[in-house]
Amino acid sequence: MPISMYPDTKTWNSFLGCKFDCKYCEKSFKRVLKRVGRNIGCDKCYRYIPHIHPERLGKIPSSPIVFVFGQGEIYFCPPHFVRKTFKAIDAHNPRKPKIYYFQSKAPSVFNLYLDLFLENQDKVILLTTLETNRDEGYREISKAPFPTMRFHDFFELDYPRKVLTIEPVLDFDLEEFVEMVLMLHRQGTLEYVWFGFDSKNCGLPEPSIEKAQKFVDVLHSNGIEIRGKSLRGVMLKETEK
Ligand code: SF4
């Protein structure tokens, strides 16, 4: 079942599941997959165990943006299946050009498929989630690679089209976090940033609204486009192109 996570976007769930156990996943992806798993009788969906659904390879959603493995983490996907996924993308002939998002909290995994991404760079954007710059306390939130390592791997990735998802935002150090985003911006690879608070009341350590506002204002004043979700009153400005 394709799911809409962002405007104009639907997930393509031919691979699903994850073992990073983010605290905020319980009320979002895991909850949705519990329901789906029960409805379709898939125990691995129900328990969010990484697994493939090859019968969905030929069913690419009709949305302008396709979130590939949107309810899963590509880090846990068998490599042969990622390559099969690209064959399905190649074979797909949509009426209008599409954009494919590949997102990971372990972005070093993208290096395994860099040849495929580069061949398709007109339609592929790579994303990582970076909720904070802080490693301290992060194991309370997730088993994914620490934020500083994740940032390093994403920064070092030799790919020209990147998006940063800062959602759900966790408390951060203003200067350090701004500098991380600016480094990607100066690299010339950052297309935009998603920014938003936890919408599910998961009890996360969050920044104040004032700090979040300062953060987006500084990014904006540096010409970075920010798209928002669950903003709790934080104001985003139009970015001058
Ligand atoms: S990395 Fe994504 S899919 Fe995996 S547990 Fe965290 S939120 Fe869920």
Please tell me the distance between residue 169's alpha carbon and the centre of ligand 1 in angstroms.
14
Closest CA to 66 of 160, 159, 121, 3: 3
Predicted local confidence at residue 9, as pLDDT: 92
CA atoms of 52 and 46, how far apart (whole Å):
13
Two tokens, residue 104 = 């990971």
Residue 102: enclosing H or E segment and its boundaries? strand 99-103
For residue 102, which amino acid is it?
Answer: F
Q: Is 20 in the pocket of ligand 1 (CB under 6 A)?
A: yes
* Ligand 1 mutation pick, 25, 32, 170, max ligand atoms within 8 A of CB: 25
| Structure-token pair, residue 64 | 């302008």
pTM score of the predicted model: 0.95
Q: How far is the CA of 152 from the centre of ligand 1 (A)?
A: 19
**Spans in the chain with pLDDT lower than 70:** 1-5, 239-241
Distance of CA 86 to the CA centre of its chain: 18
Q: What are the tens digits of pLDDT across the range 160-192?
A: 999 999 999 999 999 999 999 999 999 999 999
Which pLDDT score, from 0 to 100, does residue 21 have? Answer: 98
Find where tokens 């099969």 sit: 84
Give me the pLDDT at residue 238, please. 72
In degrees to the nearest 10, what's the CA dihedral of 138, 143, 145, 146?
A: 10
Q: Residues 138, 130: contact at Cβ < 8 Å? A: no
Please report the pLDDT score of residue 229 as a whole number: 87
**Does ligand 1 lie within 6 Å of residue 22's CB atom?**
yes
CA distances from 158 to 42, 63, 184, 219 (A): 37, 28, 12, 23
Whole-Å CA distances, 96 to 63, 123, 130, 162, 208 = 10, 12, 31, 22, 42
Of 153, 158, 128, 163, give the one whose Cα is nearest residue 142. Answer: 128
Tokens encoding 87: 């064959």
Q: Please tell me the predicted confidence (pLDDT) of residue 93.
A: 87
Interatomic CA distance for residues 216 and 177, integer angstroms: 11
3-state secondary structure of 143: coil
Pick from 115, 88, 111, 112: which is nearest to 100 by CA?
88
**Nearest-atom index, ligand 1, CA of 29:** 8
pLDDT confidence of residue 241? 53
31 Cα–ligand 1 center, Å: 12
> CB of 25 closer than 6 A to ligand 1?
yes
